[in-house]
Amino acid sequence: MIDRTHGFTLIREFDATPAELWDAWTNPDEAAAWWHPAGITTLRESVRIDARVGGRYAYLMVNEATGDEYPTGGTYREIVEPERLVFTWGRPEDADDDTPLVTVTIEPVGGGRSRMVFDLRGAPGHPGDGNMYDGWASAFDDLLVPRLVARRAGA
């Protein structure tokens, strides 16, 4: 069983409603656009999301420079739309007790903006680690931006 006492938290505010952020986490088309750090691509055809308690998700990240593949997945433990997601995060074949646990909370902050708190337990991370923390922080840089702007413009 993994030690979940170690981990990290990232907090971001977005020019998006809680429903729009929720969609970014639970819609395969949206997730494929940002579920990866810089230099990595998530193959849309690989994204499967069954967003319900006990449901599973899976996706494949590919390093654009080397072609290395990173299969990723887990199980949803808690779903409170559009406020809270709790899920395991690791390789699809890993036992849930052997993978980090992620909790995402979303709350409105006014003016059509929302705050997202991302908490990962079961893996160390800190700014500049070039790994877990930096990878998620990089992914959040792409969360919603181009798709939300296009959708609001009617594209």
Confidence of residue 5 (pLDDT cuts 50, 70, 90): confident
Tell me what pLDDT residue 150 has.
61
Q: Is the dihedral of CA 13, 36, 65, 124 positive or negative?
A: positive
pTM score over 0.95: no
Q: SS3 for 73?
A: strand
b/e burial code for range 118-131 (CB count within 10 A of at least 16 → b): bebbbbebeeeeee
Going from N- to C-terminal start, the domains of the chain cover 7-152
14 vs 149, higher pLDDT: 14
Question: Is pLDDT above 70 for 154?
Answer: no
CATH code for residues 7-152? 3.30.530.20
Question: Is pLDDT above 70 for 148?
Answer: no
Q: Is the dihedral of CA 10, 15, 18, 22 positive or negative?
A: negative
